[in-house]
Amino acid sequence: MDNSPTEAEQYERIRTRVFRSSDEAVRVVAASIARLIRERQEEGRNAVLGLATGSTPLKLYRELIRLHREEGLSFRSVVTFNLDEYYGLPPQHPESYRQFMEVQLFKHVDIPTANIHVPDGMVSRLGVFECCLAYERKIGDAGGVDVQLLGIGRTGHIGFNEPGSAIESRTRMVALDRLTRRDAARDFRGEANVPEYAITMGVGTILQARELTLLAWGESKASILRAAIEGPQTDTVPASFLQRHSNCRCYIDEAAASELTRFRSPWKVGPVKWAPLTVRKAVVSLASDLKKAVLRLRDEDYAENGLAPLLVETGSTYSLNIRIFNELQHTITGWPGGKPNADDTNRPVPAEPPIKRVLVFSPEPLDAEIGMAGTLHRLVRQRHEVSLAYLTSGSLSVPDAEARMAFSLLHELGVSQPDSLARLGALAEETEKKAPFDEDSPELRRFKGLIRKAEARASCQILGLNLERVRFLDLAFYEQGRYRQFRWGPDDVKSIAALICLVQPHQIYLTGAGADPSSIAGIAFQLGSAALRTCTSEPWFPNCQIWFYASNERPWPPHEIDMAVPLSPAELAIKLDCLYHHRSQRSQTPFTETQAGEGWQQAEQINRETAQHYDRLGLAEYEAIESFRVHKESAVHTRLR
Ligand code: GLP
């Protein structure tokens, strides 16, 4: 196989393979690991694997387990070294990385316990240095790591090597970055419960492995991957040091690859077919880079930025600018359900029927509010029949402190039946006895789910939704699992499909298309898509528009938006009020810096940024904008693209 980079990859300093889905990518990686293990077995030698934790490698581990069960792959001669461990967590702690590995891989395969190595999170402070040295020695004694698996954190960390980690760094104790702790808050039910320190292999330790395999999925990783793969080598993005390794490969999905030059600005890496969307992307990117309004772009702006071929293709700068300006203009609408009695030739939503049945799916309470509270409010005010379905209860992310507050309230109220009072007492006792991040009993989970329902109802009332049309599907997959351990099946799809068929909507709103496939939003998207596939022969389906709403993962640039719904200052205030009513999801330790930490702050920032982006391109100046993309399967798709 020719290993030299292609023209498209010329900006990439790490060899990167982009896959349509993470499933395809993990099959390739698992097959190469299996090959290594088998080759070594034939030679009578061990294969030494460096392992990673987090959501990213989950599917890979499932594929390795499948290879073990169905294709006889044995792990008897595999030796493993994990990248890192939280400091202060014992190996049996549910959130320790040792436990993670046990649940996700080790207990399902035939690896001997003696071959497993994970840094010891319980070593005394005084013993840390010695323990880290010993870990490095053990790697050396095993002959070094053959293949090191890596994920990437949003700070650009590998293992727990946060920004500032030196290229020579070795296994050591580190303090965790604020963003990393925020990202781990879900697993630990609140940021306050996330350990402050960890023990991690160093960047230098990682670079000593013979082969490095970095995996990444979802749009939340897109910008940090661009920095790591195309940016300069710098300790502010420790993953960029992987560029130094001669045998490092990234395996990423399309969403994670979206910021790489070959996708972001394909015209910079070679000739392109000027499809309408590529043209829009090129003009918007040019105007954004030059900080100019679209209508002010000149011939030389195109020529000096490698876009002369586009002008040849499309004629004059003037007509091209006008065309793109109009396209962008037509994405903006204050009538997300269509404007009755208006000419809808250039509107994203048809005028008819004037009153639409709208069905919005929210993976967890708060997701739909973050993405489209302002639009929900408009749809209701414009008299559409809006149904909102929360797919999961969201109970897993309710801290005990919130439950305690509700117990106390109910207690004060004097719950009348004595047995209710006793049950309440038992729940209160449970929160006192267990550690905040221990698993909850089913009763406590149910109670926490009720808290989220109450918050969701309160926020829906602010938006004016009819509570009879607000549904809680409490999908089974979520109720049986923990984060990173969900298994979903046909029953989950059936519940969603049944609701769609009941409502027979003119519009459906979904999210999660670009999310990590193991996240709740990613799972919700897969379930929603599967449910839609079962509806395609329904008589109402051809007239149903399917929209995606944006999440907090990444602001969408205007060329990716098919419908932009502007919010006035008053509407933005209503949105924030609505988000704020999800009080169990507010952090107990708010960010004080300018960086937006809380979900509602991020949503506000993203909606404002989108509006500013439209403004900079020379369109109207709005306070904030919510963004939507049309689904390829949707009836409205051909009309818009
Ligand atoms: C943690 C781990 C890293 C991992 C990163 C990304 O901080 N220590 O090894 O790569 O998170 O996590 P995820 O895969 O869940 O996005």
Instruction: Give the whole-angstrom CA distance, residue 554 versus residue 238.
Output: 21
Across 132-149, average pLDDT: 98
For residue range 385-437, list pLDDT tens digits in order: 999 999 999 998 888 888 888 877 777 666 666 677 788 888 889 999 988 77
Over range 473-482, report the average pLDDT: 88
Inform me whether the pLDDT recorded for 1 exceeds 80.
no
User: For the residues 492-504, what does the mean pLDDT come to?
Assistant: 97
Average pLDDT over residues 295-313: 93
Q: Decide if pLDDT at 541 tops 90.
A: yes
pLDDT score for 593? 45
| Average pLDDT taken over every residue of the chain | 92
521-527 contacts at long range (C-beta below 8 A, 24 or more positions apart): 521/363, 521/367, 521/551, 522/218, 523/363, 523/477, 523/486, 523/488, 524/361, 524/363, 524/391, 524/392, 525/363, 526/488, 527/391, 527/475, 527/488, 527/492, 527/493, 527/496
Average pLDDT over residues 528-551: 94
Residue list, ligand 1 pocket, CB within 6 Å: 52-56, 83-84, 151-153, 159-160, 180
Give 224 Cα–ligand 1 centroid separation in angstroms: 13
CA dihedral 85, 87, 93, 99 (to 10 degrees): 10
Contact criterion met (CB below 8 Å) for 123 and 47? no
d(C-alpha 477, C-alpha 188), whole Å? 20
Q: What phi and psi values does residue 472 have, to the nearest 5 degrees? A: -120, 105
Q: Indicate which atom in ligand 1 lies nearest the CA of residue 516.
A: 16
H or E element at residue 64: helix 58-71
Calculate how far, in angstroms, residue 208's C-alpha sits from the geometric centre of ligand 1: 20
From the CA of 154, how far away is ligand 1's center (Å)? 9
Q: What percent of the chain has pLDDT over 90?
A: 79
pTM to 2 decimals?
A: 0.90
**69-89 pLDDT tens trace:** 999 999 999 999 999 999 999
Atom 9 of ligand 1, nearest CA residue = 159
Ligand 1 centroid – CA 60 distance (Å): 14
Q: How confident is the model at residue 191 (pLDDT cuts 50, 70, 90)?
A: confident
Q: Which of 120-129, 234-243, 326-335, 443-452 has the lowest mean pLDDT?
A: 443-452
What's the CA gap between 536 and 359, in Å, rounded? Answer: 16
- Note if 191 is an active site residue: no
Asked which of 273-287, 394-408, 538-552 is least confident by mean pLDDT, the reply is 394-408
Instruction: For residue 464, give the amino acid letter.
Output: G
Residue 634: what pLDDT? Answer: 60
> What pLDDT score was predicted for residue 618?
98
pLDDT value at residue 592? 46
Candidate from 152, 221, 485, 516 with most ligand 1 atoms within 8 A of CB, to mutate:
152
* Strand 248-253 with 147-150, pairing: unpaired
Token reading at 421: 């009072």
According to DSSP, the residues that pair with 246 across neighbouring strands are none
- What value does the mean pLDDT take over residues 256-280? 93
